[in-house]
Chains A and B, each alone.
Chain A
Amino acid sequence: MSISPNEVPFAGTVPSPKTENEGMITGSWRTRRPILDTDKCTECLICWISCPDSSIKSTTAGMEFNLKYCKGCGICNEVCPVGAISLVPELDFED
């Protein structure tokens, strides 16, 4: 993150991000990945409101995780009233 002195913005003012802050991508922090069992999920939105990283979204296809930013804290798994979310070690995945 080194920039030349000429490129430093006046008074440190930077534009606000709109939907995500690409200056700090945190998905690589994760050691466990949340996996949703769509059969069990009732879309009660409790995981959505409990995510500190705004990384769960309610879409027409059900709840979706934003793995670009998910830090893998596991709060969603903990608060799910029907046990529809499980945490799988990251090393089990190819990507």
Chain B
Amino acid sequence: MLEEIKSLRKAPEEEYYVPGHRTCAGCGPALQYRLVAKAAGPNTIFLGPTGCMYVANTSYGCGPWAVPWIHTQITNGGAVASGIEAAYKAIIRKKKTDAEFPNIIVMAGDGGSSDIGLQALSAAFYRGHNILFIAYDNESYANTGIQTSPTTPYGAWTTFSPAGPVIPEGKKLMPKDLPKMMAHGHPELKYLATASLSYPLDLMNKVRKGLNAEGPAFLYIHAPCPKGWSFPADKTIEMGKLAVETGMFQLYELHEGQYKLTYQPKEIKPVEEYIKLQGRFSHLQPEHIQKLQQFANGRLKEVGIEVSVPAQ
């Protein structure tokens, strides 16, 4: 049983995601990986479906994990985790090991969870394996050079959705809402939450709650990407905070079928404050920004936050 972390001073000092990896300076996904590893502790197995956090961490035959780590294909993070979990249960039942059951954590990107890896994720949750599946959302396929993914927001520039004279807004589609998909279709689900790297204590405690749950747990982590979103490397934390404060991302836990907010901003800011700092939105016209505001307002209403910024 992992205990709640009450303050930064009580947070574990040990690092299990050690320095020495090829991620960009100011990488959001690398920071959330470090926090997750810190919260999970030494008895952990990480699985890395293909994505930034596999490619940029394991270059040249070495990796930055002080705990066991295994690569899985981008399609089958959930399936490999199921196998590891079932094997551990079996050898513990047959008394072939005296090891404690480990924390099995899948660290999938938004492509490895909401797009290509969706079927394996859904199947593992349907069968009820005792794993923690983390989807870190940097809102694009960033390791191959910023291609659009289902969670890329409306209006964002990517190499697959460039803004031009024919399609002035860049990406035309609204993003997929993966945590809500996971929340209402999987009867065996034991814990579900969203977190942001700008709220590290909240994030680490949600990791621990997910690991303590006896069954499949899903955690969706917002992880700003300086390269993909075109903002300076030192603004990663600020960008994560602004996403929550403007309503583009909401922090909640699923509690008996209801969304329970874990952090509610005092005042919701207009989404313009968030998007004007990012190069990927620099081409947007006022009508597109309005559409994005409508999107944020809709998501806020779904989790019960009162909308204070109207969209025309």
| Contact (Cβ within 8 A) A74 B26 | yes
Write out the residue numbers on chain A whose beta carbons fall within 8 Å of the beta carbon of B61. Answer: 1, 9, 12, 14, 23
Closest partner residue, chain B, to A68 (CB atom)? B19
**Proximity string of chain B (18-44) to chain A, C-beta cutoff 8 Å, 1 when within and 0 when not:** 111111111110110011000000000
Closest chain A residue to B33 by CB distance? Answer: A52
Specify which of A69, A73, A79 is in contact with B19 (CB 8 Å cutoff).
A69
Interface with A: B85-93, B153-161, B232-240, B297-305, which one?
B232-240
Residues A20 and B21 in contact in the complex (CB < 8 Å), given A12-B61, A52-B27: no
Asked if B18 contacts A17 (CB within 8 A), the reply is yes
Task: Provide the bound-state CA to CA distance between A61 and B8, in Å.
Answer: 19
Residue pair B19, A66 in contact (C-beta under 8 Å): yes
Provided the pairs A1-B60, A24-B62, A73-B233 are in contact, do residues A19 and B18 lie with their beta carbons within 8 angstroms? yes
Measured between beta carbons, the chain B residues less than 8 angstroms from A44 are: 8
Residues of A with C-beta under 8 A to B236:
52, 73, 75
Contacts of A23 in B (CB 8 A): 20, 60-62
Interface size on A (CB < 8 Å)?
A: 39
A14-38, CB < 8 A from B = 14, 16-26, 29
Instruction: Categorize the interface residue count of chain B.
Output: 35 or more
Assembly CA distance A21 to B9 (angstroms): 26
Once A1-B60, A75-B237, A78-B235 are accepted as A-B contacts, the answer to whether A45 and B34 lie under 8 Å apart by CB is no
Whether B26 and A16, one on each chain, are in contact in the complex, defined by CB atoms closer than 8 angstroms, is: no
Task: Let me know if B200 is at the binding interface, CB within 8 A.
Answer: yes
Contacts of B274 in A (CB 8 A): none
B64 at the interface (CB under 8 A from A): yes
Say whether B20 contacts A24, CB under 8 Å: yes
B26 x A24 contact (CB < 8 A): no
Residue of A nearest to B11 (CB): A49
Q: Which residues of A contact B27 (CB under 8 A)?
A: 52, 73
Task: Evaluate contact between B26 and A21: CB separation under 8 angstroms.
Answer: no
